Structure 1
């Protein structure tokens, strides 16, 4: 009997210990979202292939050009590359109008080149994420050629059509159309087709299960080749309310709300997960434009819903022409409210620039000679010290700036050109429009990468498809490579720091000095480790109240040559400090 009591006591002790241990692990995981995944820890480097490196002198960046720079990419310390579309395309929207999802655009090379690129990346420990552009196709895709040939064609229902005999369809606004009309009349079948973007980008009909299965086959094709995931372009618009109700006046100013709320969107994502993504558990997926609120964004990436992995929302970059249009306090509140929603589950992206945005220096910092380097380093510090997967756009690591073109002839982008000629038809102020584009045009972020001070910045030996920024002789990778204090080497240092300190990936985020109009200050905490991040987003000295004791603390990163603790209550212009707090 005594032995039985002992055994029971031991058994209860084990059970109690296990429950305590399990409880503690659960709490830790809940409070800091510690479900570890490679894509949470990754720094993802976005490459715009058309502008990265040209290998054959035709003025267009290509796959062989990227291959030639793989050692440079590896030297950045990044973990994965997000590659903008390289599929076969007539190039109306720089590759976002796809005519064949299983072939490579001739400007970029061949499928053999792609295979070499993928192998070279994987050999260097770099993963490859590709754009999946399936809200729309090109009007030169075989599906659409067939669909517009007859109302009875088997591909007809791969797109959205409205028979002209029923009158004009309910008005829908288009992002890129000169007249902002999303329904385009098509004479061969006396019908209108839908295009939320360019008229050469007809929207695919996701309500058709045959179309969905075609997309799933495309996804399997690329995943079987060995790619590591997809960034879902414009997928928030895929599901449509096919009753085409009238929308309230001015709805285009809240386009995510009215175009991104399709009735079956999440059903399709869950089906995609079941049919494809669940079969490739190590692949990552990114939900572009994930909703209009933190709650909406969570629905895309809540693990329990089995949809996608990373939410890529736009609220933080949709601030007007520059940060001052919104104000730093509201900017901080945006990031903080998303972090609060995602603190226990789901996962966010952190970014300040991409191919659809102007350069981050011009939007959030300063491109003046005095502050370009400091503000660039400060912004890189922000992207790499917040909780979420860091997405970093090519060229920002050397502090590239807006090109500020003077003439419409310098622009190639369908968005800028259609807006310009639409305004011209209405007799609008074209000079004011072009002046605004110097700050806001997408092509500010698409100018060729500035490799060195040689002709065309070392991007091409031919005529570049888009003009090179004229500051390339002083802003280029070669100059910065040889300067230990350059923006480039600072970026490498912060990437390395993020990998050295897991607290910067998984740690709890706490906003400090919330109402400070110039300083973004926060702590990151995990398992007894605490870091304080101080960022002055202004060109003035700024006071900051952290409530943090600095005794025995040390600065582990600064974007100024010399920095000391001294109970830092004043930050220099665009200063960025990371402090390890004891």
Structure 2
């Protein structure tokens, strides 16, 4: 008898991620805000969403768009106040939805009061709350960093502090010093300030940022030299999945267990299933689920995001469905997603954003995601089919620290070579984080309805807003927005099948994605053409004897053919 997953609200809920700066500007200062989010809650609820995830909205100098937090208990001023956030929490709950926040506790801003104390002197009580090390010196007496680690933003992972004459570690920007999780007092301060403070205000859980990087390898040794020409080296193995990480996560879980909440962890650089299972097994009592980046990482070289490698539909199918199989007959749970604030748009990356295919492709991806097992996450604008900025987008429009640093590095190293810059821009057009961070496209007026025409938004809107916007799609039955609503309705109507059902992939060629789901006394069949070419197909023998009825599709064509980016979902019951 197959193991049945225990039913939970956070497994069945549809999660909608909001990027505050870019969602809706309520006061026309060019920056999205909490009041703007509140003004669109009915739109979100009518989409079929149950849980809202708010990306970092805490007090921050915004070096890395809020992932550099200077006060966990306060709000970034342009977004609003703590009182505004309390109103948001209440407004969400009043509509029968739930809300989760980002939990960013691997590092703080270098302007956080804790770090200001830590760097004030070597004898300060909070000195050990961050990771400080003395310099090394070469044979000529030149000062060197403690090790050769590279940060995730393509720079050395150590910065010299002139005042105390030591280096501090930062796995991200220099303005994001890593907290020292080995210090118990520091850990408990994190639990009180970043976690309990907001749980007591009624939030329903956390998306946990970089959840596997709190425990570093003892001794912080040099990484292996795999790029001899580079000053720094990729060092994931020494700061990811460290020896005490599961101990730390169990401590966090002890705090969370006092409340009816859930956690979803960001789990980068963890490809082995056995390692992932240690985080998501219910018995382990650490995380409820994690984001695995196997699919969204396609085409990106680990440690070198913008070094693009080729991939095809076979790779897409393999990675997207990988965790469907792993959670079967285990007590683990998984996520279903193709977009977030760190990724390019799914239609542009995994299908086609050319005008003749864009809507069909968006509907096809919606059907695949909506019928996979796990908790479904949707990113703002995904429901209307927002796409990447074009290759012609001016270079100065890229705002993300990763994009800016990459362009600067290419320009400096290659002496402003136009060919190299052109290649770099092609990489950015595919996988830059900026594409997810442009303003939400609400209508076809100036600035896409994000803010008034008289205001310059913090980040330029993409020209596609004239054709891709909420106002044009809402209530129009053939639109992608209304199609997403139908998909989510079906997912909820048949949750035993689509949320909890057993998955089986069926091979029917490289460009066809075909799978069945079995749940309760029902069976479904999802088939999708991932290509721009007409494809022949047939009902798989596994379900050929059942009475399969088409419940949703994005085209009405011949039974034995699938048009470009056509998708269909069939269902049978006794």
TM-score by length of 2: 0.91
1:257–1:292 Cα contact (<8 Å) kept:
no
Paired with 1:494 and 1:143, the residues of 2 have a C-alpha distance of 47
1:270–1:306 Cα contact (<8 Å) kept:
yes
Counterpart among 157, 168, 177 of residue 182 in structure 1: 157
Aligned pairs (5 A) from 1:80-479: 80-164=51-135, 167-177=144-154, 180-218=155-193, 219-250=195-226, 257-274=237-254, 276-280=255-259, 282-289=260-267, 291-320=270-299, 325-344=310-329, 345-404=331-390, 406-427=393-414, 429-461=420-452, 462-479=455-472
Deviation, 1:563, is 5.1
Tell me what 2:552 maps to.
557
Counterpart among 495, 499, 505 of residue 505 in structure 1: 499
Paired with 2:506 and 2:309, the residues of 1 have a C-alpha distance of 20
Residue 5 (structure 2) pairs with residue 34 (structure 1): yes
Tell me what 1:22 maps to.
none
Deviation, 1:581, is 3.1
Deviation, 1:256, is 5.2
Paired with 1:314 and 1:529, the residues of 2 have a C-alpha distance of 31
2:440–2:450 Cα contact (<8 Å) kept:
yes
Tell me what 2:18 maps to.
47
Deviation, 1:330, is 2.8
Paired with 2:335 and 2:235, the residues of 1 have a C-alpha distance of 21
Paired with 2:238 and 2:533, the residues of 1 have a C-alpha distance of 40
Deviation, 1:338, is 2.1
Counterpart among 520, 524, 536 of residue 529 in structure 2: 536
Greater shift after overlay, 226-235 or 240-249?
240-249
Tell me what 2:31 maps to.
60
Deviation, 1:544, is 3.3
Paired with 1:458 and 1:335, the residues of 2 have a C-alpha distance of 34
Paired with 1:188 and 1:381, the residues of 2 have a C-alpha distance of 57
1:46-66 alpha-carbon deviations (Å, 9 max, x no partner):
111110000111100000001
Paired with 2:333 and 2:233, the residues of 1 have a C-alpha distance of 27
From the superposition, tell whether residues 255 and 527 of structure 1 become closer, same or farther in structure 2 (CA, over 3 Å). Answer: farther
**Residue 107 of structure 1: SS of its match in structure 2?**
helix
Paired with 2:178 and 2:463, the residues of 1 have a C-alpha distance of 38
Paired with 2:51 and 2:237, the residues of 1 have a C-alpha distance of 31
Paired with 2:235 and 2:361, the residues of 1 have a C-alpha distance of 32
Paired with 1:253 and 1:472, the residues of 2 have a C-alpha distance of 41
> Structure 1 or 2: larger helix share?
1
Deviation, 1:335, is 3.7
Paired with 2:31 and 2:314, the residues of 1 have a C-alpha distance of 41
Paired with 2:252 and 2:546, the residues of 1 have a C-alpha distance of 53
2:475–2:482 Cα contact (<8 Å) kept:
no
2:211–2:266 Cα contact (<8 Å) kept:
yes
Paired with 2:439 and 2:545, the residues of 1 have a C-alpha distance of 44
Deviation, 1:550, is 6.4
Deviation, 1:214, is 0.9
Deviation, 1:327, is 2.1
Paired with 1:336 and 1:413, the residues of 2 have a C-alpha distance of 30
1:513–1:544 Cα contact (<8 Å) kept:
no
1:536–1:576 Cα contact (<8 Å) kept:
yes
1:295–1:341 Cα contact (<8 Å) kept:
no
**Residue 506 of structure 1: SS of its match in structure 2?**
coil
Paired with 1:287 and 1:500, the residues of 2 have a C-alpha distance of 28
Tell me what 1:20 maps to.
none
Structure 2: state its 5+ residue gaps. 138-143, 301-305
Greater shift after overlay, 242-251 or 79-88?
242-251
From the superposition, tell whether residues 358 and 109 of structure 1 become closer, same or farther in structure 2 (CA, over 3 Å). Answer: same
The RMSD of aligned alpha carbons is 1.9
Deviation, 1:476, is 0.5
2:19–2:437 Cα contact (<8 Å) kept:
yes
Length, aligned pairs only: 544
**Residue 325 of structure 1: SS of its match in structure 2?**
coil
Paired with 1:249 and 1:383, the residues of 2 have a C-alpha distance of 40
Greater shift after overlay, 252-261 or 403-412?
252-261
**Residue 380 of structure 1: SS of its match in structure 2?**
helix
2:59–2:75 Cα contact (<8 Å) kept:
yes
